[in-house]
Amino acid sequence: MQRIGVFVCHCGSNIAATVDVEKVVEIIRQEPGVVHAEDYQYMCSEVGQAKIADAIHEKGLTGIVVCSCSPRMHETTFRKAAERAGLNPYMVEIANIREHCSWIHKDVEEATKKAVILARAAIAKVNLNAPLKPGESRVTKRALIIGGGIAGIQTALDIADAGYEVDIVEKTPSIGGRMSQLDKTFPTLDCSACILTPKMVEASAHEKITIYTYSEVEKVTGFVGDFTVDIRKKARSVDMDKCTGCGVCQEKCPSKKAPSEFNRGLSNRSAIYTPFAQAIPNVPVIDREHCLKFQKGKCGVCAKVCQAGAIDYEQKDEIVTEKYGAIVVATGFDVIKLDNYDEYAYSQSKDVITSLELERIMNAAGPTKGHLERLSDGKAPREMVFIQCVGSRCADDRGKSYCSKICCMYTAKHAMLIRDKYPDVNVTVFYIDVRTPGKNFDEFYRRAVEDFGVNYIKGQVGKVAPQPNGRLLVQASDLLDNRQIKMEADMVVLAAAIEPNPDVRKIATMLTASIDTNNFLTEAHAKLRPVESPTAGVFLSGVCQGPKDIPETVAQAGAAAVKAIGLLAKDKLLTNPCTAHSDELLCNGCSTCANVCPYGAITYEVRQVNDHGIREDRRLAVVNEALCQGCGACTVACPSGAMDLKGFSNRQILAEVDAICQ
């Protein structure tokens, strides 16, 4: 029998307002095995923790039950307190009487009763607890960054600068991401390429950074500190070592009808291509779907013109397997498809474009060489309309429920740039709310209005109707003047909602990292652990976690790097001691457990056992404690009941069931 101490927390009034804590103590004191019970204002405070230590010393406690908030909050706190007082930390159990009791019930009597039952269940469990000792696992001092946009680049640089090896895996032929597609950045209006390119160069030149472009993560196994990752390097058809990046192949390539991803399909590129001039690495890839050599079997122009002999049509995909201690997800975003918003005529008119397309049009390296012109006829627009919140803040399944956060600012930027460069062009912005929290953000927006004469109208647009004269009739609300507006425009720009890169689902599944209904990766704690995934060793950088602009992305990228460095700096990690173990007298070596184990932690060996005096060689399951993550799948699968889980044993759970059903 354990000597158990029960500590009931008031949590200020969070618990005490609904649960009669004194009464709980009074009742629990009578429970068999309980030799000490008390309540205190804040058990997690230093004083509270000292009370636990004192009781351990004075009453010789062997088991502790803390009735407090969720174990996800303070289990570690109380375990450490017990450990400092000389008790095995795994002799502590938490009864969650806040989240699961006081916060959801109003009736004091009812909540008190439930708190007592929850405490009893924890007591029943702790009675059967045994001291556990965590094992150790090694930490591979190398980090993987998935995604080579500004988030991934910044995280990689920060980790590499701390002295650790970093690999970046980027799906497209070049790093750079969305930021490389932008023309200018708010609120300073500096050119995006001018601030991004040096970072790209720095990353590629960094001796600690290896960049895998045109590559994808294919498989992830292992766990924190010791991930094993397969990376598929897609066949580039160009030898990276031989290519000098002279660009002749791209010039001579006869197939020039492939839509340029970089220019959002607004211009075409050759079949052998680098996405943009400053691409890193400056080595082209052959897009086999558009290459005449691959499609028709004849051509081979690029091989003929390549002085370096770098073209290799026979190249095959290659799988690289690498070990990592930490993984950072930085998969970024895309803008939503506008199929659900045909009232804005995006698919009917070339002059209705998204803001990202406008970035390309405004960019000197873009499809119009930086001239603002209509894509339908190349004419300069006189009247431009911007529509905000297209697909953001929607309650139906047509769009996204969230605010995309960056649109208000980039629209102000676009409006301002256009008014600056083309003062003859009238710019009207239809908005629902202008949201500009951020340093110098509102001032920026006000400048657009006050200094640049951008016409902001509060009201959404209902329909954009292409007119026979080639212009676009915009029908909108002016809510402040309470009138309906019908105005002709030459171009309409839609601030389409952003969404996480669709690939993130696949990656999250590989990493067993959780994801929310909008496909954003979930944080370990929304406020206190915002750059960590609940899955240990996985960190979040950039828009994959939620909409954010460039400075926020860079800040978060740095934070993710620090968290990863904190992990890589350790030589050993303590492993979860709640692992499975097999009773050798019950195990019949049937392999059922090994078949359900997701970690390959169970192997078999033939060993002599002494079964009540009979010695014989038997095939037995053996659990590798470093690999076992403690899910318990094997314990239920085992037909002979030999497998059990430390910390969540059959007897412990049954004892909890009994206590609850009593």
Q: In the window 587-646, what residues touch other proteins (CB under 8 A)?
A: 596, 598, 629-633, 635-637, 645
Largest CA distance in the chain: 100
User: Which string of x and - marks every residue 463-492 that binds other proteins (by CB under 8 A)?
Assistant: xxxxxxx---x-xxx-x--x-xx-------
Instruction: Compute the distance between CA of residue 496 and CA of residue 105 in angstroms, rounded to an integer.
Output: 43
Phi, psi for 381 (deg, rounded to 5): -75, 150
Residue with smaller CB distance to other proteins, 201 or 636: 636
Closest distance to other proteins from the beta carbon of 534 (Å): 7
Cβ contact 123:65 at 8 Å: yes
Closest distance to other proteins from the beta carbon of 31 (Å): 15
Residues in the interface with other proteins (CB under 8 A) total 86
Instruction: Compute the distance between CA of residue 178 and CA of residue 133 in angstroms, rounded to an integer.
Output: 47
Closest distance to other proteins from the beta carbon of 388 (Å): 9
Closest distance to other proteins from the beta carbon of 72 (Å): 6
Instruction: Report strand pairing: 538-540 vs 326-329.
Output: parallel
Residue with smaller CB distance to other proteins, 282 or 624: 624
Cβ contact 349:404 at 8 Å: no
Residue with smaller CB distance to other proteins, 64 or 301: 64
Fill in the DSSP letter of residue 99: I
Q: Of residues 176-235, which lie at the interface with other proteins (CB under 8 A)?
A: none
Closest distance to other proteins from the beta carbon of 272 (Å): 36
Identify which range of 105-113, 148-156, 159-167, 584-592 contacts other proteins by CB under 8 A. Answer: 105-113
- Type of residue found at 129: N
Instruction: Report strand pairing: 63-68 vs 4-9.
Output: parallel
Cβ contact 398:342 at 8 Å: no
Residue from 314, 439, 517, 617 in contact with other proteins (CB under 8 A): 517
Identify which range of 5-13, 51-59, 107-115, 309-317 contacts other proteins by CB under 8 A. Answer: 107-115
Q: Of residues 250-309, which lie at the interface with other proteins (CB under 8 A)?
A: none
Q: Of residues 524-543, which lie at the interface with other proteins (CB under 8 A)?
A: 534-535
Fill in the DSSP letter of residue 137: E
User: Which string of x and - marks every residue 348-367 that binds other proteins (by CB under 8 A)?
Assistant: x-------------------
28 lies in the site for other proteins, by CB under 8 A: no
Identify which range of 117-125, 167-175, 196-204, 557-565 contacts other proteins by CB under 8 A. Answer: 117-125
Residue from 88, 514, 624, 640 in contact with other proteins (CB under 8 A): 514
Cβ contact 236:310 at 8 Å: no
Identify which range of 155-163, 293-301, 514-522, 612-620 contacts other proteins by CB under 8 A. Answer: 514-522
Residue with smaller CB distance to other proteins, 345 or 540: 345
User: At which residue do the structure tokens 């045109």 appear?
Assistant: 214
71 lies in the site for other proteins, by CB under 8 A: yes
Q: Of residues 550-579, which lie at the interface with other proteins (CB under 8 A)?
A: 578
Residue from 43, 64, 81, 101 in contact with other proteins (CB under 8 A): 101
Shortest CA distance to 639 belongs to which of 580, 589, 605, 599?
A: 589
Q: Of residues 119-158, which lie at the interface with other proteins (CB under 8 A)?
A: 121
Residue from 70, 244, 295, 591 in contact with other proteins (CB under 8 A): 70
Closest distance to other proteins from the beta carbon of 295 (Å): 28
Cβ contact 602:593 at 8 Å: yes
Closest distance to other proteins from the beta carbon of 596 (Å): 6
Residue with smaller CB distance to other proteins, 184 or 581: 581
User: At which residue do the structure tokens 């590798």 appear?
Assistant: 624
Tokens of 533: 């995934």
Instruction: Compute the distance between CA of residue 481 and CA of residue 350 in angstroms, rounded to an integer.
Output: 31
Q: Who contacts 94 (Cβ-Cβ below 8 Å, separation ≥6)?
A: 65, 66, 67, 68, 70, 71, 74, 75, 78, 122
Residue from 114, 233, 290, 548 in contact with other proteins (CB under 8 A): 114
Q: Of residues 397-436, which lie at the interface with other proteins (CB under 8 A)?
A: 398-399, 432
SS3 call for 553 = helix
325 lies in the site for other proteins, by CB under 8 A: no
Closest distance to other proteins from the beta carbon of 634 (Å): 9
Shortest CA distance to 462 belongs to which of 452, 454, 473, 451?
A: 473
Residue with smaller CB distance to other proteins, 302 or 508: 508
Instruction: Compute the distance between CA of residue 172 and CA of residue 200 in angstroms, rounded to an integer.
Output: 14
Fill in the DSSP letter of residue 247: -
Residue from 209, 409, 418, 515 in contact with other proteins (CB under 8 A): 515
Identify which range of 80-88, 178-186, 259-267, 394-402 contacts other proteins by CB under 8 A. Answer: 394-402
Residue with smaller CB distance to other proteins, 347 or 603: 347
Residue with smaller CB distance to other proteins, 302 or 621: 621
Rg (C-alpha) for the chain, rounded Å, is 31
Residue 181 CB-density burial (10 A; 0-12 exposed, 13-18 middle, 19+ buried):
buried
Residue with smaller CB distance to other proteins, 120 or 236: 120
Helical residues (DSSP H) of 373-491, grouped into ranges: 407-421, 441-450
Instruction: Compute the distance between CA of residue 159 and CA of residue 180 in angstroms, rounded to an integer.
Output: 22
User: At which residue do the structure tokens 């993710």 appear?
Assistant: 560
Cβ contact 325:139 at 8 Å: yes
Residue with smaller CB distance to other proteins, 154 or 629: 629
